[in-house]
Amino acid sequence: MQELCIFLFLKFHYQKAQNKHTRLKAAVHYTVGRLCQKIGEEHRREFSRQTIAAIAETTFRECDIFAKDLEAFARHAKRSTVSAEDVKLLARRSSALSNHIQNKSEELAQEQRDSRKKSTVKRKSRDTEEESRE
């Protein structure tokens, strides 16, 4: 009886893990499909369903490798949180890729600065509005 309970318990958790796995794969497949469709349209060619599935599967597997590398980089730097620096290191193999990631990183930093400035300006204008009303 106990063995049956343990068996059912393990089966339940295994299926739960499998479902999450499947959902993630499906999410990747969906976005890969859309990206391929757009590129196909731009070049007036079509990707076969098999090809899209293969690209999606490869992307999914690469993520596993990326994740393990990122974790190793963070641990090497004695951190438990993966940072932008770890991602930049991951992109080191191709200089084009490395530059692209560096540019994106700078773009994100600029967006952050801009959004902070906007909220400060909003706050200031709100304060002056309230002042003039009093």
Instruction: State the residues that interact with other proteins by CB under 8 A.
Output: 20-21, 24, 27-28, 31-32, 34-36, 38-40, 43, 45-48, 50-51, 54-55, 58-60, 62-64, 66-68, 70-71, 74-75, 80-84, 86-88, 90-91, 93-94, 97, 100-101, 104-105, 108
Which lies closer to other proteins via its Cβ, residue 6 or residue 109? 109
68 CB-contact burial (10 Å; exposed 0-12 / middle 13-18 / buried 19+): exposed
Which lies closer to other proteins via its Cβ, residue 83 or residue 128? 83
Q: Which residue has the tokens 């731009």?
A: 42
Which lies closer to other proteins via its Cβ, residue 50 or residue 132? 50
Pull the structure tokens for residue 94.
Answer: 């191709």
38 CB contacts (<8 Å, ≥6 apart)?
A: none
What is the DSSP secondary structure assignment for residue 80, as one 8-state letter?
A: S
